[in-house]
Chains A and B, each alone.
Chain A
Amino acid sequence: MADRKERFTSLSGLPVAPLYAPEDLKEWNPDTELGVAGSFPYTRGIHPGMYRSRLWTMRQFAGFGTAEDTNARFKYLLEHGQTGVSVAFDMPTLMGLDADNPLARGEVGRCGVAVSSLSDMERLFDGIPLDQITTSMTINGPAAILFAMYLAMAERRGIPAERLGGTLQNDILKEYIAQKEWLFPPEPHLRVMVDTMAYCAAHLPKWHPISISGYHIREAGSNAVQELAFTLYDGLTYVDTAVKMGLAVDDFAPRLSFFFNVHNDFFEEIAKFRAARRLWAREMERRFHPQDPRSLQLRCHAQTAGCSLTAQQPMNNVVRTTLQALAAVLGGTQSLHTNSMDETLALPTEEAVKLALRTQQIIAEESEVTNTVDPLGGSYYVEALTNRLEDGARAYIEKLDRMGGMVKAIEQGYPQREILESSLCYQREVERNERGIVGINRHVEQDEASISILKIGEEVEKSQVDRLSSLRYRRDSFMVAGSLEALQEAAAGDENLMPYLIAAVKADATLGEITASLKEVFGTYREPVVL
């Protein structure tokens, strides 16, 4: 019988053969390419027992409205079996602006929670035991400032820093590449980032100071090979920067973590996680020769692909998310966020988030896929794909080396252009009906029933603005000015900024004031337009 299609390709455009067999793995040596789980090159997983020893952390990203609104959502998720919290901040906070900045109009509390001061942070975590959960904060440009608020809050509650566990996204290079939320030019941003790494190495042994993120690169339109290559290269750049600033690789590399997207191509995604671990271990070994094996291990969080969801027939998104979540688990992720079915329409409702969490719990507790480590290891197809992804990513890594590193490549618009071309290619495939999406170009329904969605009231912005003005009225303005001046002096020199940031947030300096003070020293950045 003839094939249904002329060409079969993976979602990233790699040609797929009708059958994979031993000939496809002729050069492949399982001893060097696979090893055993928990050992170099970690293809099969970073722990010997994987999910037999411990399931992945189920961590749903959440944030909207005021600190109180999000606090209630965190408590809801913890009550339903979630094992860590993950904060989504609103656009002004992500851009280092206070809620009462004119540029923040209409944006406060809309796509995350508004946090402009230490007192907002304290309301956000009210009643949540900081020493018993782990917290992930998706914040990049102003990451060090929000981290300082978290540390100051813990100190006031009498919780020692060494007992705090969590993750700061703090990945600035992917902001220039994909997510586009930066405050300063790349060089000072990298310096502040290394400050947070050094601070964690000295005071917070359980904290992950950076989550090196491919998620946003993929959402911006890259394919799986580009996601893998640019993300790992960002990671190598951070290690290189920190080593050049005097940190010993084994003092911080064991605490680096990664964050990947899980898109629709089931086997390609599984192979991506496996290739990521192998390539990271090999590149770290080759470039930095660490002594601690944990410096070679790529540990990661994964999130199902928001960009794969459709506004049409939204219930279908539950099924897409289930398949993607299963791929992340078979790929060996350490933690996972599953998207809710209503997220192409608005931030998710409580019911939709619960269903997304239940999806993970069903995979974990009913499907029995957790019984053995790397169940697809040795599959001709998956191993061939793993090799292809590693080779493809390595070619990009070599090119970036030749270009003089990621900062130079970003300034020339190189990764941005590669991503744009992939996104154009995907869009054309969909519009030519070569790539099927149920509800968009296949099985389309007219007159769909609508589902109920989360609404965020207009009063959120006003209450946040009022709170800020009362904070400004009641605080000691001399303390604020003094703390900001000390911060600026430290920023102009080469001291670690973390103690100065902690002092400033304790004096009730706001996020926007701290950002503005730092911009005076560090300057701002405009991106090269790539179209």
Chain B
Amino acid sequence: MTATTPIRVLIGKVGLDGHDRGVKLVARALRDAGMEVIYTGLHQSPEQVVNTAIQEDVQAIGLSVLSGAHNYLFPRVLELLKEKGAEDIVVFGGGIVPDDDLPRLKSAGVRMLFRPGSAMTDVVDFLKGLRS
């Protein structure tokens, strides 16, 4: 990534969960910060997310899960990225994730999880930090 080209990031809802208030706020904040945001909309399977990410040539995937299915969905996305040789794409997320689940998601390769109370600026700073 060079400092002049905008960051390209996929933002979406994976799984069956329809809570899209937070994900839309994040998508808007990243766009307002000058990033190229590909918003997938609702009810995406891990396969759809990974295929879109590769086709759209994004540098990062940000996924929102508030339904408690994070322990399956995040590792599954990372596994598919690896299968397709796209493990350079950074995966981060947000939602209702208890403390006890953080280590396993981190070891599966989730770079960052933004939990309730996070500021939009935290997400923007995190993505900008990927350049350095």
Contact = CB atoms under 8 A, between A and B. Distances in A.
B68 A456 contact: yes
B110 to A, nearest CB: 14
Q: What size tier do the contact residues of chain B reach?
A: 20 to 34
B20 interface: yes
B68 A531 contact: no
B116 A311 contact: yes
Given A97-B16, A107-B68, A110-B68, A423 B121 contact: no
A107 B28 contact: no
Instruction: From A106, A111, A440, name the one whose CB has the most chain B CB atoms within 10 angstroms.
Output: A106
B129 interface: no
A103 B15 CA distance: 7
Given A92-B16, A111-B67, A220 B21 contact: yes
B25 A427 contact: yes
B25 A424 contact: yes
A424 B42 contact: no
B117 A310 contact: yes
B1 interface: no
A446 B89 CA distance: 32
A402 B65 CA distance: 37
Contact of B41 (A95, A110, A529): A529
Contact of B39 (A175, A431, A440, A531): A531
Interface in A90-121: 91-92, 94-95, 97, 103-107, 110-111
Interface string B24-65: 110110000000000101100100000000000000000000
Contact of B20 (A105, A107, A180, A456): A180
B18 interface: yes
Contacts, number: 95
Main secondary structure of the interface of B (DSSP, over half): loop
A111 B70 CA distance: 12
A344 B116 contact: yes
A260 B19 CA distance: 18
Contacts of A347: 68
A220 B71 CA distance: 24
A298 B94 CA distance: 38
A346 B96 contact: yes
Nearest to B15: A107
B100 interface: yes
Nearest to A94: B16
Interface range on chain A: under 10, 10 to 19, 20 to 34, or 35 or more? 35 or more
A91 B28 contact: no
A110 B98 CA distance: 13
A103 B18 contact: no
A450 B99 contact: yes
A104 B119 CA distance: 31
Interface SS of A by simple majority: loop
A274 to B, nearest CB: 27
Contacts of B73: 106
A180 B17 CA distance: 8
Interface in A426-459: 427, 431, 439-440, 450, 453, 455-456
B69 A179 contact: no
Contacts of A103: 16, 45
Contacts of B111: none
B68 A111 contact: yes
Contact of B17 (A91, A105, A529): A91
Contact of A104 (B16, B17, B18, B39): B16
A181 interface: yes
A319 interface: no
Nearest to A108: B69
Contacts of B126: none
A344 B98 contact: no
26 contacts: A91-B17, A91-B69, A106-B15, A106-B72, A106-B76, A107-B15, A107-B17, A110-B69, A111-B67, A180-B18, A180-B19, A219-B19, A220-B19, A220-B20, A221-B21, A307-B21, A311-B115, A345-B96, A345-B98, A346-B96, A347-B68, A423-B25, A431-B120, A439-B117, A440-B117, A531-B27
Interface of A: 91-92, 94-95, 97, 103-107, 110-111, 175, 179-181, 219-221, 307, 309-312, 344-347, 420, 423-424, 427, 431, 439-440, 450, 453, 455-456, 527, 529-531
